[in-house]
Chain A
Amino acid sequence: MKFGKRLKQHVQETLPGWRNMYLNYKGLKKLVKLMSSSLEYGISEDEFVYLLDNEIEKFNTFFMEQEEDFIIRHKELQQRIKRVNENELSSQGEYEEEMARTRKDIIDFHGEMVLLVNYSNINYTGMTKILKKYDKRTGGFLRLSFIQKVLEQPFFTTELVSKLVKECEATIDEFSPAVVVAEEMTKPAGTIVGEGIFRNTIVALLTMEEIRKGSSTRMYWVTITKKLTEAGGSLKHRPQFSSIHLISFLHSSKP
């Protein structure tokens, strides 16, 4: 699947507030097509750079806004889990329930952060592609220098978010109950993976896997994604993942 299509699909399925925040890949690609080395048609390089800079600004603003939120929420969640654990007054049942809720929140939070890193990656990739196309089209040398600038941008420097992600993983590991997969667990009639963070991460992961494994398994992944989409139809308004069980393909998606 070409990048443009994949991006479009991703954007359609991503969290609602994020849809406007991605690279205008299609538009820029078409713009580049109009250009030629003589620069008679289309826009000049400076104008093109201006547009790209605008895109970068968009990414930066969104990214930093999210990042700020993450920093705040991360700290709150850490404190919350501490509070729950230190709460001597609650009964075992209450404790379990609170822990479960907090754990769930942390996991959803973790997912959201990963999706932001994914966002960064997709936009970066799109940008390099556009720049490559531009150079190819106009015979210019914009890409190499421009990409240096991109590498330093806030939206691309995702180290902090990654760090928070890892901290969440550590927290979850620390506070996870022993995993007991009961044999007699019955699987629900339909798989329920709503729109939301989990669904997004699955789709994103599948997309990446698809790229890496090549197109031989493409039909398989497409089928799975379709299943997800169909299953999720009844839960359009769930902002967070709240599914109860997953189909077994998730097991098979592991190495």
Chain B
Amino acid sequence: MLSELVQGDLVTMEAQHALSFQRSGARQFSNHGAASARSAPLEDKYPKFTNPQPNFTSGAVGHIFSSSSGMSSDFHFSSVTSHTSLSEKAPFISQSSEILQSTASSQYMKETNNSSWCTDSLPDFLDYPQNTPIQSSNLEHGLMPSEDLLDYPQNTPIQSSNLEQSIIPLEDFGKQNDWQDWTDQLINEDGAMTPDWNDILIDTNIADPAPKMAYHVGGSSTNSMQAQPLIPQSPGEICVPLNSTPCGSGSQSKPRMRWTPELHEAFVEAVNKLGGSEKATPKGVLKQMKVEGLTIYHVKSHLQKYRTARYRPEPSSEGPLEKNSTSVEDFSSLELKTGLEITEALRLQMEVQKRLHEQLEIQRNLQLRIEEQGRYLQMMFEKQCKSGMDKFTAPSTDLPSLQANPNEPGPDPVVGPSEEGPSKSEPGVSQSAKRAKVNT
């Protein structure tokens, strides 16, 4: 996986160099990479939300961190941008679906960002062909792939809650208002190429409708907010879905809370104060916890999980240890031996798992690093374009993997004579000054 990822990636040399960093580099990088990838957005978010939003009907002070689908050309996509635009739509956090919908529609009208598709639109698209008397076989054939394509996302809980939504947002998308036109166009365009849509878009995964609902506790959507608890603990996060933010999810607007151990601690404390998991009610626990942004739905679903975990502990602990009767028959009756073997097997299992985890961490760090370097390169490029520098001097030892071309001439075609000998036509001082500037 990793080798494929890196080989075709940004800089091949970088990849080779990066791989050599596997063990040693990974550890140092784990802080660096993680920090750089995460700390910036986090730090951006937290300070921002000390001011309560007066419109919040749920009384949440929380701050909304959203990684919405704003497709700006500005590649420094910061969550700050997205959430400030969201904060204007404060009412969306409300649990009232009507407010949500009307606000969503009106807000959406103003939305200049065309890429913010509403999750709702496509399910409606799915419904549409079934309702209309479109008979041409071509059309059906053309429509099927969309169904297949959209069937897949529809398997997820998010979609299931959106089926009744209006298609208003789609109109704002700027393209065809008419579903029929859209599909016609799609089919006509495809006519020349005759793709076998069925083949292309059929989901390769095994469609298994049952399990998906297991993750859909309480019918919650994925709208979220960040919770700032009044008690100074790490708050949970409320996560905003990427493209359904203003549209919400109708009657099931239960923002998804990202729980943390600290938040769970507070939960357990509250439950215990109220007499245990059986006695405690969601409302009571919610009140007791006093965490802003936390809704009763969050508590309810969490309480449910909690009860399950307590009264139906890990499945294997039910019954005797040697649950696997098939294998037990293979064994001698000496319990000691079996016990030893079990222990050994468990130990090995742990080793394998540990190892896998180690490798996953390494891979993740590498991925973060790759992206960081990508950003760096991009930044360099933009800087260089903007300032219209005569030359582009490659960064120095900060990024050893980029030292392949230390004196790469800049892309600026106006450069002229300095193209060939970048260091020649410039005094040494300004060259190093430029280098220093570039490196900051």
| A198 contacts B359, C-beta separation under 8 Å | no
| A179 contacts B344, C-beta separation under 8 Å | yes
Q: Tell me which residues across on chain B come within 8 A of A177, comparing CB atoms.
A: 343
Residue of B202, B214, B363 touching A17 (CB-CB under 8 A): B214
| A162 contacts B357, C-beta separation under 8 Å | yes
| B324 CB–A CB distance under 8 Å | yes
| B205 contacts A24, C-beta separation under 8 Å | yes
Min CB distance B195 to A, Å, is 6
| B5 contacts A129, C-beta separation under 8 Å | yes
Q: Tell me which residues across on chain A come within 8 A of B378, comparing CB atoms.
A: 144
| B222 contacts A72, C-beta separation under 8 Å | no
| A88 CB–B CB distance under 8 Å | no
| B1 contacts A250, C-beta separation under 8 Å | no
| B405 CB–A CB distance under 8 Å | no
Q: Tell me which residues across on chain A come within 8 A of B28, comparing CB atoms.
A: none
| B302 CB–A CB distance under 8 Å | yes
Min CB distance A172 to B, Å, is 6
A108 CA / B339 CA spacing, docked (Å):
17
Give the size category of A's interface with B.
35 or more
A68 CA / B218 CA spacing, docked (Å):
14
| A57 contacts B115, C-beta separation under 8 Å | no
Interface residues of A in 130-175 (CB under 8 A from B): 132, 141, 144-145, 147-149, 151-154, 157-160, 162, 164-165, 169, 172
| B34 CB–A CB distance under 8 Å | yes
| B207 contacts A50, C-beta separation under 8 Å | no
Interface residues of A in 213-253 (CB under 8 A from B): 214, 234-235, 238-246, 250-251, 253
| A129 contacts B4, C-beta separation under 8 Å | yes
Q: Tell me which residues across on chain A come within 8 A of B244, comparing CB atoms.
A: 57
| A212 contacts B3, C-beta separation under 8 Å | yes
Question: What sequence of 0s and 1s flags, for each residue 101-120 of chain A, a beta carbon within 8 Å of any chain B beta carbon?
Answer: 11111011111001001100
Residue of B264, B339, B350, B371 touching A71 (CB-CB under 8 A): B264
SS of B interface (majority): helix
| B349 contacts A76, C-beta separation under 8 Å | no
Min CB distance A193 to B, Å, is 9
- Number of residues in B with C-beta < 8 Å to the partner? 126
A189 CA / B326 CA spacing, docked (Å):
12
| B342 contacts A20, C-beta separation under 8 Å | no
| B41 contacts A185, C-beta separation under 8 Å | no
Interface residues of B in 333-362 (CB under 8 A from A): 337-357, 359-361
| A65 CB–B CB distance under 8 Å | yes
Question: What sequence of 0s and 1s flags, for each residue 310-337 of chain B, a beta carbon within 8 Å of any chain A beta carbon?
Answer: 1001111100011110111011100001
Evaluate whether A64 and B239 lie within 8 angstroms (CB atoms) in the complex, with A8-B204, A30-B201, A244-B327 already known: yes
Question: In the complex, which residue of chain A has the Cβ closest to the Cβ of B301?
Answer: A68
A101 CA / B190 CA spacing, docked (Å):
59
| A41 contacts B9, C-beta separation under 8 Å | no
Q: Tell me which residues across on chain A come within 8 A of B313, comparing CB atoms.
A: 76, 80, 105
Contacts beyond the supplied A41-B190, A104-B342: 18 A-B pairs with Cβ under 8 Å: A18-B211, A20-B205, A25-B204, A30-B199, A50-B243, A54-B243, A71-B259, A72-B305, A105-B317, A114-B356, A118-B360, A125-B5, A144-B375, A152-B37, A186-B332, A188-B327, A212-B3, A244-B345
Task: List residues of chain A with CB under 8 Å of any chain B CB.
Answer: 2-3, 6, 8, 11-12, 16-22, 24-27, 30-31, 34, 40-41, 43-47, 49-51, 53-58, 60-62, 64-69, 71-77, 80, 97, 100-105, 107-111, 114, 117-118, 121-122, 124-125, 128-129, 132, 141, 144-145, 147-149, 151-154, 157-160, 162, 164-165, 169, 172, 176-177, 179-182, 185-186, 188-190, 192, 194, 198, 201-202, 204-205, 207-209, 211-212, 214, 234-235, 238-246, 250-251, 253-254
